[in-house]
Each structure stands twice: as structure tokens, then as C-alpha cells.
Structure 1
Amino acid sequence: MNVSEAQLYYFSPTHTSKRVGEAVAAGLQAARLVENDLTHTPADDAILPSSSVAVVAVPVYRGSVAPLALERLQGLHGDGTPVVLLAVYGNRDYEHALDDLDRFMTERGFVTVAAGTFVGEHSYSTPQTPVAAGRPDVADLQLARRFGEKVRDKLAGYEPGRFVRLEVARIPRPELSWLDKLRFVWYGLGLKVSKKPMPVAPVTDPGQCNGCGVCAIVCPTGAIAAGNELHTDASRCIRCCACVKSCRRMARSFDTPFAKILTACCARPKQPHVLL
């Protein structure tokens, strides 16, 4: 099968999934590449033919595929269409996210032919509490592109509609050291005992905010209304922290104690893993 068309789908509030997906898609070297950004709008209702290749890149939130990403993929279906699955997690663990994404796409008529787990800067990462800061980095993206090239080579050996589904569970799971596991449990118990209220949404410093509206533009759920940037609707916020990372005046913050825990327990950089 020659890769004549590739369809890239990504949900990426802070651009980490987007960058990984674009690198893999570039490696496919398709004659026609279509990018579908699901960060603010759902995918068009469509059935992709088996002669196309889909690349789906999603962030992992708390060990699961971001629910909004799956919601915005609902209208997409395949017809024995090959798909490359990419889970981008914040250097802790992607847990069952890749399995769930594989099941979701399979139920919609796709065949998983390749999969990868990549590290992206954690949503909670800040200069004070860095967690995978700057990831995916140059090396990550180079690996992602080479992975795309290998997927292209693999597909060359198949006829459309005769793809073999990959067992994504074969990808190695990241692990914490015993010391880091103990730290994680210890910090977690400390939070539970303290009964300290957990923040539910980013807050805005009125002394720093100039009402530019960038936070409202980047928010994938409409939790921030233009003209009322000092308020965040906690019922709609998914804590992706796109608003925090996009604010040039650093007027927005999400002061969660989990950031310090992640910084302490997940400092060792984890590496991407791919499966063909």
C-alpha cells in the first residue's frame, strides 16, 4: 500500500500531542496530509477508506485518554482503515490510556497498525515545579518522524483492507523506582491527612491580568469567557492549564500540590516507546 493520503487527528490544548502527531505524520511522507485539530471542534462525521492512513494523537490525563478527545472523535469511523495511535503523557504513567484508545478506534472500524507512547510537558509543570519541561524535545520529535517512516515501510507490505491489528499491550509501561513509589504514597497520604482543599481550576491575579483574552481563546471547553477573564467556570475546566501556559503576563496559575509531588517523584526523564 502506498500512503497517498494521511489524516492526522489531535486534541492538544498545550500543543504536545500536536507536535508528536505532526512529526509522525511527516514521516509517513503521504502525497496528501490533512490536519484535523480537535482541540476546539469535533471531527467531521466521516468514514475514512482503507486506502487512507489515520494518525490519532491524544494527551493522557490521570492515566486515561482525555475524555474530551474521545468525545470529539465520536463522528469518525473507518472501513478497515489503518491507524497509528499516539498517547502523550506527562512523565508519570499512561496507565490504560493506549488500550482504551485502541478499543475506541477498533469499535469504529479502524485497525491499529502501529502505536507509540511519548512524553510531553505535564499540564501542571511550571518553572517552580518542572515536570518533563520542554518535552517533546528535539530527540523525541526526531524519533517520532523516524517512527512515521517505519510505519510507511510497514504499510508498503500490505494491501488495503488486509491489515493485521497490533497488540498495543506489548509496549513497555513506564515504572517508578521503589523510592519514588514510596515518596508518591507518602506525599499522597500527607495530602489526605491534611484535608487541605484541592484547587479545581486556575485562578487569575487581577493585578497582572490586562484582559487580552488569550486565555479565553485557548481554552478548549469555553470555561473562560472573553471579557470576563478573571473568572473560570470550574464545572467546565479540565485542568489542561492551556490558559496558564499561554498567559504572557503570568497572571493565571494553578497551584496544585500534585505539581510538587510529580516534580519530586517523576524527575527521571522517561523515554518514548513505539511498536510496529
Structure 2
Amino acid sequence: MNIDEVQLITFSPTCTSKQVGEAIVHGTGISSVSKVDLTLEAAGKRGGPSHVLAVITVPVYGGHVAPFALERMRELHTDGAPAVVVVYGNRAYEKALVELDAFVTNLGFKVIAGATFVGEHSYSSEKYPVASGRPDADDLEYAKLFGEKIRAKIAAAEDVEKLYGVDVAHIQRPRQPFFPLLRFLRRVVKLRKSGVLMPRTPEVNTERCTHCGYCVKYCPAGAIIKGEECNTVAEKCIKCCACVKSCPQKARAYDTPFAVLLSDCFKKQKEDRIIL
């Protein structure tokens, strides 16, 4: 069968999911490309015919698909065939891929491929790096190859009915060293029992802040108000750290004890996985 258009649907506050999605789309070799960026606004009511391939890329927060991503996709509907991808910060994606699969299936998508890619963790910093710099060149090349494989799978099918779906629960899991994981879990339990309060929002260095408005522009939750850039509305903040990573003055920082644990316990870089 022939697919002559691809649609990239992405939620990507720090651009890792977006980079992976764009590489997959490039790999398909399809020239007609449309984009639905859910980062700052909902997709609204949109439909897609069966000849449009949808590539969906979203980040994992705490082992789940970012809630905003699901909320902003809620009105989408299609009879198309998407590749479903989640991007996680080198710890674990837990059931996020299965969760995304079920969600988009209910919207009318037919899941023909799935993948898990590693992206720099939202909490990553120079002091406490967590999958820093990923997706790197190798990740993006693998994402491109994934796109090529999706295109080949579609081309080999006679029609939509013959284009078989996949059970993403059967995707190969990345290797996870046992002792660092055990150390992480023990330290998380200890941290929670200690009663140490977790920061609800990033901290702002008021001397560095120039009120340039970048944090306002890039916050997907609308938690920062123009003219009040040194404040963050805690009830709205989703801790994606888009404001931290986009600030040209480095006036924002999110110093959470979890960043220390993640950086220490998950130094070994995990591999990207795909299933078709």
C-alpha cells in the first residue's frame, strides 16, 4: 500500500521527543509532512485519513506518559496507522509505551510500530547529568532507520487491512544493572522517610533574571506570567524544566534530590528499542 503523507504529533517541552520524531519522519522518506505540536496548545478536533502515517512522540514523566500530552491529544481521531514512540530519561519508562498505545488506539489509530528512545532527563544538569546530550547522533540515526523500516513495512502490505498491528508490550526491554537499581530504590525510600521537602518549582536567581520572557514563552503549562518571571505558579508547574533549559541567563534551576539519585544510579546509558 502507499502512504503519501506523514504527520508528526509531538509533546516536547525540552525538544528531545521532537528531535526523535523528526528523525523518524526523515527516515520514512515521505516528502509531505505536517506537524501537530502539542507542547503549548491542544490539537483540537482533527481527523486523519488512512493514507496518512502518524508518528507520535511524547516524553515519560515518572514512568507515565506526560499527562499534558494525553490531554492535548484527546480530540484527535483517525483511521490511520501511527508509529508510537516514548522518550524517557535513562531510568525507566515502565508502562508508558503500553499506556500510550491504549490511548491512541481508543482515538482510532492503528499501532503498527513502537519504540522507546532515551532523551536527556528533565532534571539533568551540568552538576548532575542524566543521559546528557541524548538523543545523540547515534540515537537519531537509529530513529531514522526506524522510519525506514516503518516505510518498508507499509509498502509491503497490500492494504490497510493487511497492515498488521503490533503488541508494544512485547518490545525488548533495555538491560538494567541490578545493583544500581536496588541502590536507587533504597535511597528513594530513605529520602521519602526523611521528610525532606521536594521543590515544587524551579528556583530563580533574581540577580541574573533579565525578564527576557523566554521562560514564559516555553512553559507548556502557563505557569509563568510575563512581567513576573521570577515567580512560578506551583499549582500549574509540571516540572518539565523547559524554563530551566531555555533560560539564556541560566537564572533558573531545579535542584531536586532526585537528580542526585538519578545521576548516580543510572550512569550506564540504555539502548533505544523498536518493535514492528
Pick the TM interval, shorter chain.
Answer: over 0.9
Contact 2:174 2:273 in 1 (8 A): no
For residues 64 and 158 of structure 2, the distance between their equivalents in structure 1, rounded to whole angstroms, comes to 33
For residues 76 and 212 of structure 2, the distance between their equivalents in structure 1, rounded to whole angstroms, comes to 35
For residues 230 and 159 of structure 2, the distance between their equivalents in structure 1, rounded to whole angstroms, comes to 52
What's the CA shift for 1:7?
A: 0.7
What's the CA shift for 1:185?
A: 2.2
Q: Is 1:199 aligned to residue 199 of structure 2?
A: yes
Residue in structure 2 matched with residue 208 of structure 1 by the alignment: 208
> What are the within-5 Å matches in structure 2 for residues 1-276 of structure 1?
1-79=1-79, 81-162=80-161, 163-276=163-276
Structure 2: gaps of 5 or more residues: none
Moved over 6 A (4+): none
Q: Provide the secondary structure at the position in 1 that maps to 2:270.
A: coil
Provide TM-score, normalisation by structure 1: 0.97
Contact 1:8 1:21 in 2 (8 A): yes
| Larger displacement relative to structure 2 (154-163 or 93-102) | 154-163
| Larger displacement relative to structure 2 (136-145 or 194-203) | 194-203
- For residues 60-90 of structure 1, the C-alpha deviation after alignment (integer angstroms, 9 at most, x for no partner) is 00000000001111111112x1110010000
Contact 2:5 2:33 in 1 (8 A): yes
What's the CA shift for 1:175?
A: 4.7
Provide TM-score, normalisation by structure 2: 0.97
Contact 1:92 1:174 in 2 (8 A): no
For residues 74 and 190 of structure 1, the distance between their equivalents in structure 2, rounded to whole angstroms, comes to 38
In the alignment, residue 56 of structure 2 is paired with which amino acid? V
- For residues 166-215 of structure 1, the C-alpha deviation after alignment (integer angstroms, 9 at most, x for no partner) is 11011122353221122112211321232111111111111111111101
Contact 1:115 1:275 in 2 (8 A): yes
Contact 2:12 2:39 in 1 (8 A): yes
What's the CA shift for 1:160?
A: 3.9
How many residues are treated as equivalent by the alignment?
Answer: 275
Q: Provide the secondary structure at the position in 1 that maps to 2:223.
A: coil
What's the CA shift for 1:238?
A: 0.5
Contact 1:50 1:160 in 2 (8 A): no
Contact 1:201 1:254 in 2 (8 A): yes
Contact 2:174 2:272 in 1 (8 A): no
Q: Provide the secondary structure at the position in 2 that maps to 1:82.
A: coil
Q: Provide the secondary structure at the position in 2 that maps to 1:112.
A: coil
Contact 1:208 1:251 in 2 (8 A): yes
Contact 2:25 2:55 in 1 (8 A): yes
In the alignment, residue 109 of structure 1 is paired with which amino acid? G
For residues 129 and 231 of structure 2, the distance between their equivalents in structure 1, rounded to whole angstroms, comes to 26
For residues 3 and 146 of structure 1, the distance between their equivalents in structure 2, rounded to whole angstroms, comes to 17
In the alignment, residue 54 of structure 1 is paired with which amino acid? A
What's the CA shift for 1:241?
A: 0.2
For residues 14 and 31 of structure 1, the distance between their equivalents in structure 2, rounded to whole angstroms, comes to 26
For residues 143 and 3 of structure 2, the distance between their equivalents in structure 1, rounded to whole angstroms, comes to 17
- For residues 1-42 of structure 1, the C-alpha deviation after alignment (integer angstroms, 9 at most, x for no partner) is 222010110000000000000000111111311111110011
| Larger displacement relative to structure 2 (155-164 or 248-257) | 155-164
Q: Kindly tell me: are residues 159 and 105 of structure 1, through their superposed partners in 2, closer, same or farther at Cα, counting changes over 3 Å?
A: farther
Structure 1: gaps of 5 or more residues: none
